[in-house]
Each structure stands twice: as structure tokens, then as C-alpha cells.
Structure 1
Amino acid sequence: MTKSLLIVAHAPSENTRALLEAVRHGAVEASGGEIAVTGLSPFDAGPEEVMSCDAILLGTTENLGYMSGALKDFFDRIYYPCLEETQGLPYALFVRAGHDGTGTCRAVDSITTGLRWRAVQEPLVCRGPFDPGFVAQCRELGAGMAAGLEAGIF
């Protein structure tokens, strides 16, 4: 049975789309086709997609010290349907932060703690002015998630 990695990321700009694509490409390349990788906008992902994945990678911009409204909307729609069904779901987070990303990470942690999801690594926070190095970091994040899932580490 093929395992699946769901990527739910809000990518409203060219730079954030580059980060999303890097995460996706890293996951696809690392899995060698052994993991089904699906990338969706928070507006297009719902409880069904979350309940059918084996791990989830979340991405958001930092908006006024919080997650994007799009990711918050995603959590609002999936929270109760997924509450009892997805406990222990492995997840990771990447944040494109103009400032420090602390509030964004705290907000996502609060919701994922309520869902009883399991963070499999520290959040990747791409801070400050856009740096092309962020793309490589996101590619590594995607690759690590896919490799961990494929190896059965989580």
C-alpha cells in the first residue's frame, strides 16, 4: 500500500510558490515514486484529504504575527471532523516570515496540539528578506518528510 504525504500550503506570492514547489520537489525526488505526494491550497484541502494521508506538511506566510487566514480557514474546516480520526498524524511546518515567525509557530502548534498531531521536526522558519537559500531548505524539508515516511520512521 502506497503511503501518502499531503502538503497544505498558502503560497500567495512568487517567492512563497517557489518554497512550496521546493518542498514538493524534494518530497517527490526523495521518495523515488514510492510516496504519493499531493500539494493543495488550504482552500482546496478538507477533512477527507487529511484523513487519507499518512503525514502532512503545512506551509504558511506570517501575517501580522499569525498564520495566514487561508491556513486558519483550513484548520477551522478540518478540526472537528479530524479530531478523533487523525491523532498522532506526523506533521511538519514551514513558515515564510517577514519578522521572526514566533507567533505563527505558536498558533499552529496550539491547533496541532489540540488535534494531537505529532511534530516530526522543528518548524522551518524562513525569516527576513527573501533569501534564495530558503528554497534549498524547503527542498530538504520535503525530502526529509518523504524519506521518514518511506522508511517508516513516522
Structure 2
Amino acid sequence: MTAMHQSASPQPRAMVSAGRLWAGGGATAVVAALIAIVGILVGRGLFGVEVLAPKGAGIWGDASTFWYAFGAAMLSLVATGLMHLLLLFTPRPMLFFGWVMTLATVVAMLAPFVTDNDLGSRMFTAGLNFILGVAIGSLVAGSAHTAVRTVPAPRRY
């Protein structure tokens, strides 16, 4: 009975341009690393807040500045990989990606509060993590929108 109500024309399929998605992911990684560096410079230089390292380490801090920026870049690539998998295998990839990114950003914002640093340092680091989460999520999602193309399904005779 259901065969009588099926559409005569096959449904279009979504094709993912992996090159376009991963190029956007690479660009997102660069942006995220730069946001982390700018955030650390603003926190330490303008506000004198301890972000990742004590004030005695100077505005640039120590090696942890590099690792924070590197981690932000790597998390951008992880988010791109997740998006790629979601695009290939889930029915509503953007919805699932939005939930994952929102929850991951909340975790990143709460993480500084388990340290013994002063409240200002914890608040600033949580804010920086929020900005990074929003930037990574929106840039990867935007790249995914441009990487997905709808193509007509082949006709069956």
C-alpha cells in the first residue's frame, strides 16, 4: 500500500566536499590559535590577569601559551572531523553538531573553576574559552554549509 504513495522522482542526495570542509577546518584552526594568543595578550597585558601562567612569566607567558593556542587549533580540527562524520552518517548533522559544541563549550567554561587561581583569572579564562567555543562552532558549521551540495539522485528505470 505504501508503494502507491511514493514519489515518482527519487529524492536528492547530499554530497560532502571533503576538501572544502577541511580547508575551512584548517582556516578555523588558524583563527582559533590567533584568538587564543590575542586573548592571552589582552588578559595579561591589559588586565594583568593570570591566564595559564603567573604574571611573573611576562605578557607572553611561558610555553603554556603555545600549548593553549596549539590546543585551540587542534580542537578546531577535531570539530571538523566530527562534523565530517556527522554529515556522512547522521540525519540532522547541524543539530547534533550544535549540541556537541554547546556542551563542549560549557565544559571548557567550567574547567577553570576547578583550579585554585583567583576569581578574576578563572572568569577571564572561562570567557576566553567561551569565545573560542563560539568561534570554532560557528566557523566549522559555516564551512560545512558550503561543503554540502544537493545533487539529484540517479533515476531508476
TM-score, scaled relative to structure 1: 0.30
Q: Give the structure with the larger helix fraction.
A: 2
| Structure with more contact order per residue of length (Cα contacts < 8 Å, sep ≥ 6) | 2
TM-score, scaled relative to structure 2: 0.30
